[in-house]
Chains A and B, each alone.
Chain A
Amino acid sequence: MKTNNNTLLYILFIAVFAILLPAGYLSGLLSVNTISVWGRYFCFAIAALGIDLIWGYTGILSMCQAFFFCLGSYGIAMHLLLKKTATAGAVLPDFMAWNKIETLPFFWQPFQSFGWSLALCLLIPAVFAFIVGFVLFRSRIKGVYMAIITQALTLAMWLIFLRNETNLGGTNGLTDFSTILGFPLSSSSVKLGLYMISFVILCGAYFCCYKITHSKFGKVLQAIRDSESRVSYTAYKVVDYKLAVFVVAALLAAAGGMLYLPQTGIITPGRMDVKASVEMVMWVALGGRGNLKGAVIGALLVNFLYSICTSLFPDSWLFILGFLFVITVLYFDKGFMGLIDSIKQRFSATRFKTPQTTH
């Protein structure tokens, strides 16, 4: 019964986003911008999957996913910018010339090649997550402490990225790219291609996360969420599990960021401020945490709502978001998916009590 439902949902999802939307664009019903916008939402959904793994399944509230997302974006942005300067015949990107920098900073050098850029975009967030996670988990920092420290970390990184002397474009961020691997970013077929790539990677990420959560590893993660101390009493190395899932979540966020950049054409530190990092967590909370479908749907839904509301009534978007936050947390603990489940359960006879998470 349940698998049938799931299959139906998957088919519907693929039908809408892999066939209906591109078909709509090709037949001229949808503009290429709509396609691109949904492509961006897929990137957010990929990052949301990571948040669901670490928060929904393991119970660690990490507020630095937005930072990992931006690390991925910045890496690709650096590569694209270097390519553009190379084709324009210049030595340095424009903003560096304005800042009176003579030579390319050393950490920009490896981003000359596409392969290295891809590798570094994943490697840097992973190493960063490993170090931070090691330090934090080793000293058994958890719960609220973890949330606050990761948030402060994001804040600090945000401040660093805002500076001009870090050579990452400061407040303006990195923008104004022309091509990716020789294809012009402005052409609609490239946009459609990126959309499809994002979609495929989202599906792949979903599949991997599904496999992870249904493996023994995933069961241990959920056990850690429900009672960390009991897991450690049964001789599991809690720190290793947490560290692994933290790195995986960082990788997912970075992958989302990497795909996000060519579709928006700009990355600024605003993507990783405190607000952005809480919002990312909220996608998962609204969709339904501890539920991979919920994470994807939450990310898509909130961002879709955002683009509708900001164009219709720009002043009230924050009110809507705020109320959504409060109401979700107060009444729909399991988010959108939980709501659907509980409606379904109305019709069935028994209602299982959901296990409470410990604090």
Chain B
Amino acid sequence: MNTSLRMLMCCLLLLPLFSAGQDSASIYTAQLLQPPADSVRTKAIGRLAALRIPATFPLLMAINDKKLYLLDQKAVTVDSKPTGEGTYRLYSLYPDNTLLTNSSGQPLLLPLSALKTVDIPRGDRLQLAGIAPLLNLFSNDAQKRILAYSQLKNTGDSATLSILQAALAKETNADALRTGKDVLYAARLYKATSTANANAYIDSIGDNWSDNAPVLLRNYAKAGFLNQETAHYAAAKAVSLEKRYDSLQRIQNFFSGLSLGSILILIALGLSIVYGLAGIINMAHGEFMMIGAYTTYCTQVFFTHTLGIPQTDIFFLCALPLSFIVAGAMGWILERLVIRHLYAKPLESLLATWGVSLILIQTARLLFGDLTAVKTPQLLSGGWQVSPHLTLPYNRIFIIVLTLFMVLFTYLMLFRTRLGLQIRAVTQNRQMSACLGIETRRVASITFFIGSGLAGLAGCAITLIGNVVPDMGQTYIVDSFLVVVTGGVGKLAGTIFSGLGIGFFTKISESFFQAVYGKVFILVFIMLFMQYKPKGLFPDKGRIAED
């Protein structure tokens, strides 16, 4: 009862003050912009800072940021960053704070030279230090605003809240709005006097669902502010929010697993075909991935430096087929020089290709140094914000789509073309295929080309999510071998299933254990799995299965 009475009093007192303040604000603003004497300006700023009228905050903010300009005798400010051509967007400051437009309704763009800078001495600006946190609510920078909102977390005084409300009314950034609303609702919740009122604010906080909403509600429930009922309600709300958050987290994990799995599939696809066909364990497969990644990097450098095309997405589109071809060609050369002599000797090929991978890694290190990175194309930066707490990055979505596409491509190649028929025949029985007139060597060369090309493509895709380093292939090679082993050698379906399976398992176990123990767990799991299926998920049946 007491509190509500006091609030009423406050409102009554504030009302006339507001209108009177409005008038004096106009006077002070005018004095500030065209001061008859320096002392008048100093006094005007001091008065404005003391009055704390929301409408004047953009102006004061501009003073604080030293970004106050005059355009046709009117006070304006500019964006924190220029647009592409060195011009700035302009905002009016008082009495209203809006984006300035030209006659056709487009944002008005002007260089700084077209504006007259208003210099406010440091001494004058220092008078604003006391209200700096509040001023930041009206900053042009969304990050600053979010910070400013969260700094108000524990304030309960109504003058500040009314300023907060004014700031929220013109808030455009979704994240900032959420943070601000959270603070506002929380303050109101603590002031609520009836159960219905409090519950309504609890609901609002729930709907708003900012990051610290569960903590906030829990604290409120613990304090037992109003009565037991609201406390229970708040606690229940917090639990339901956390549950929803957990389920979203699960979706996020699922998605990460899908994306990791698709990278593994992309790498293991080539590995599996080559092993099935030629009995070759290609330890240098990861290095073809590295070659693909460096091809992407070179394409980027070529486009930006040699051709002088600034950051565009074209380079990535070109890099996709290029990385396939370059890595494929390298694979073809390797097949000609080394692999050809090692058919059906998997252990020997393992060692020889390991040597090749050492050579390739060292070559890359000498050519490119230790660390390079490819800029993510603009088109693929950012993510699809499904909800405030669930963002699916575009680059990972792209990798998943690419994998789908390449799996389809491999499937069609293997099962719908003459070459695929030959590849499958040679995989089953090399000698018999040769007897039937299949040029097994040619088939093997082409298969090696495609397999290495697929790895190159994977490398190109991985530049989207990581750095390009000479030994990047090594990170994935053991995992992708595990995929091949678990899936069964030379089996498309097996590779897909085990790739996805290992991807999911990794991500799910990472959410229980730490990443390292997750990996150990997977390994133990695979070893146990192979007790039942020693030849992988989809073993050959019948006579082929014999040694």
Chain A residues within 8 Å of B, Cβ to Cβ = 61, 132, 135-136, 138-141, 143-145, 147-149, 151-153, 155-156, 159-160, 162-163, 228-229, 274-275, 278, 281-282, 285, 315-316, 318-319, 321-326, 328-330, 333, 358-359
Contact = CB atoms under 8 A, between A and B. Distances in A.
B7 interface: no
B547 interface: yes
Contacts of A61: 347, 350
Interface string B527-545: 1101110100000000000
Given A159-B516, A281-B351, A330-B338, 19 more contacts: A132-B527, A135-B527, A139-B534, A144-B350, A147-B281, A148-B482, A148-B484, A149-B527, A152-B526, A159-B519, A160-B520, A274-B474, A318-B358, A325-B351, A329-B352, A329-B355, A333-B348, A358-B547, A359-B345
B265 interface: no
A148 B485 contact: yes
B481 A152 contact: yes
A323 B523 contact: no
B520 to A, nearest CB: 5
Interface string B464-477: 00000000001000
Nearest to B519: A156
Contacts of B478: 148, 151-152, 155, 274
Interface in B466-516: 474, 478, 481-482, 484-485, 514, 516
9 contacts: A151-B481, A152-B478, A153-B523, A155-B519, A315-B362, A321-B358, A330-B352, A359-B345, A359-B346
B356 interface: yes
Contacts of B58: none
A352 B67 CA distance: 91
Contact of B520 (A159, A319, A326, A330): A159
Contacts of B305: none
A163 B516 contact: yes
Contacts of A322: 355-359, 362
Interface of B: 275, 279, 281, 283, 338, 341-342, 344-352, 354-359, 361-363, 366, 474, 478, 481-482, 484-485, 514, 516-517, 519-520, 523, 526-528, 530-532, 534, 547
B135 to A, nearest CB: 43
A359 B279 contact: yes
A326 B547 contact: no
B346 A324 contact: no
Given A141-B534, A160-B520, A147 B358 contact: no
Contacts of A316: 362
A319 B359 contact: yes
Contact of B361 (A136, A228, A318): A318
A201 to B, nearest CB: 28
Contacts of A148: 281, 478, 481-482, 484-485
Contacts of B532: 139
A275 to B, nearest CB: 8
Nearest to A154: B478
Contacts of A275: 474
Contact of A141 (B338, B345, B474, B530): B530
Contacts of A228: 547
B482 A152 contact: yes
A278 B481 CA distance: 15
A147 B352 contact: no
